[in-house]
C-alpha cells in the first residue's frame, strides 16, 4: 500500500505545531473552538470507557479536550508534531501515541468506538482512501467526526474569486523554506487576518445582517485571538498540499467509505460532518 502522504507537507506541519504549540491559547477560546467542531458529535452513543482515535492529532489541541471524556485515545500523527502532543498531553494518562500516517496499519480493524479527523485528510494525496482507512478501524455503528476544507460551494462568486487569488499566494509561499513561510504568514496575519476579522466584528456590532457578516472575508476570526489568526495564517499559506470539497462530495466519500446517517453541522459556513460505520 502506498504511504498516502506528501512528506514535504508532513514536514511543514511539524514545523507549524512546533512554532504554535497552542500554549498561548486561552482556556475559554480553546473550549469555544472545541465546541464549534464537536457540536454534532454523538457523545451519548459512546460506551463507557470508550476507545477511539484522533487521526492527525498535530499539537493535541483537540485531544486535550477529548481525552478526559473517553477511556482511551489513540493520538496519531506522522510528523514531529507528535512530540508536541506528548508534551501537551502529559497529564492525560489515557493517551497512546502513534508516529504513523493514515495508510499505515495502526489499529486493528473494527476495534474502535469512535474516530475523529479534523482538518487533516484534505492534506493527503488520496482523501477518499484516507477516510476508508479511518472507517476500517471503527466498530460497526461507531461515529466518525470529519472536517475537510470546503470548496466555497455555499459562498458568492466574489468570495470564490478572492480565494483563487489567495491560493496563488499560498502556492508561492508554501514552496519557500520553513522560516520564510513563517515570516510571510505572520505578515499576512497582521495585514490581512486581523484587519478583516475586526472589520467583520464592527459590522456585526453595528447591526449588519447575519448573511453579510458571515460572508465577509475572515469573519470566522472576528471573536478569536490574534494567536489563533497567526496559527491559521501559517496553516493556510504554509501548507504545500491542499484539497477542497463540496458538501455533496464529502457526503459521497463518507458513504463510499462505509459510513451512514451522515449529518453536517449547521453552525458553521464550512463542512463538519459525522457519520456512523455501517453494520
Q: Give burial (CB, 10 Å; 0-12/13-18/19+) of 229.
A: buried
Handedness of CA 178, 174, 245, 194 (dihedral sign): positive
Instruction: Tell whether 195 and 105 lie within a shared domain.
Output: no
Q: Which residue has the cell 485571538?
A: 225
Is 2 a domain residue? no
What pLDDT is recorded for position 3? 82
Instruction: State how far the alpha carbon of 98 is from the alpha carbons of 58, 90, 101, in Å.
Output: 12, 15, 9
Instruction: Tell whether 226 and 250 lie within a shared domain.
Output: no
Q: What average pLDDT score do residues 165-182 get?
A: 96
Instruction: Tell whether 19 and 99 lie within a shared domain.
Output: yes
pLDDT digits 0-9 by tens, 221-270? 999 999 999 999 999 999 999 999 999 999 999 999 999 999 999 876 67
Percent of the chain past pLDDT 90, that is, above it, reads 92
Domain containing residue 68: 7-151+244-277
pLDDT(1) > 60 = no
Instruction: Tell whether 169 and 232 lie within a shared domain.
Output: yes
pLDDT digits 0-9 by tens, 177-218? 999 999 999 999 999 999 999 999 999 999 999 989 988 999
What pLDDT is recorded for position 2? 65
Q: What average pLDDT score do residues 59-85 get?
A: 97
Instruction: Tell whether 98 and 179 lie within a shared domain.
Output: no
Cell of 269: 459556513
How do beta strands 51-55 and 72-76 pair? parallel
Q: What's the total number of domains in the chain?
A: 2
Can you give the pTM of this predicted structure?
Answer: 0.94
Instruction: Tell whether 215 and 165 lie within a shared domain.
Output: yes
115 near 138, Cβ under 8 Å?
yes
Please count the other Cβ atoms lying within 10 Å of the Cβ belonging to residue 86: 14
Amino acid at each position: 500500500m502506498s504511504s498516502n502522504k506528501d512528506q514535504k507537507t508532513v514536514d511543514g506541519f511539524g514545523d507549524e505545531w512546533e512554532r504554535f504549540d497552542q500554549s498561548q491559547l486561552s482556556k475559554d477560546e480553546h473550549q469555544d473552538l472545541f465546541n464549534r467542531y464537536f457540536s454534532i458529535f454523538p457523545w451519548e452513543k459512546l460506551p463507557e470507557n470508550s476507545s477511539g482515535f484522533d487521526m492527525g492529532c498535530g499539537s493535541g489541541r483537540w485531544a486535550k479536550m477529548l481525552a478526559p471524556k473517553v477511556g482511551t485515545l489513540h493520538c496519531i500523527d506522522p510528523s514531529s508534531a507528535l512530540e508536541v502532543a506528548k508534551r501537551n498531553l502529559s497529564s492525560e494518562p489515557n493517551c497512546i501515541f502513534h508516529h504513523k500516517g493514515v495508510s499505515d496499519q495502526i489499529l486493528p480493524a473494527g476495534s474502535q468506538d469512535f474516530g475523529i479527523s479534523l482538518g487533516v485528510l484534505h492534506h493527503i494525496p488520496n482523501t477518499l482512501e484516507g477516510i476508508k482507512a479511518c472507517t476500517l478501524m471503527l466498530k460497526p455503528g461507531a461515529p466518525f467526526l470529519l472536517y475537510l476544507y470546503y470548496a466555497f460551494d455555499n459562498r458568492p462568486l466574489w468570495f470564490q474569486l478572492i480565494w483563487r487569488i489567495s491560493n496563488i499566494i499560498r502556492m508561492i509561499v508554501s514552496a519557500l523554506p520553513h522560516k520564510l513561510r513563517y515570516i510571510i504568514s505572520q505578515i499576512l496575519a497582521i495585514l490581512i487576518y486581523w484587519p478583516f476579522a475586526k472589520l467583520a466584528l464592527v459590522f456585526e456590532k453595528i447591526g449588519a445582517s447575519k448573511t453579510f457578516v458571515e460572508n465577509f472575508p475572515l469573519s470566522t476570526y472576528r471573536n478569536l485571538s490574534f494567536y489563533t489568526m497567526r496559527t491559521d495564517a501559517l496553516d493556510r499559506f504554509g501548507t504545500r498540499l491542499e484539497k477542497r470539497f463540496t458538501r455533496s462530495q464529502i457526503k459521497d466519500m463518507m458513504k463510499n467509505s462505509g459510513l451512514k446517517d451522515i449529518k453536517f453541522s449547521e453552525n458553521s459556513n464550512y463542512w463538519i460532518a459525522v457519520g456512523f460505520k455501517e453494520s
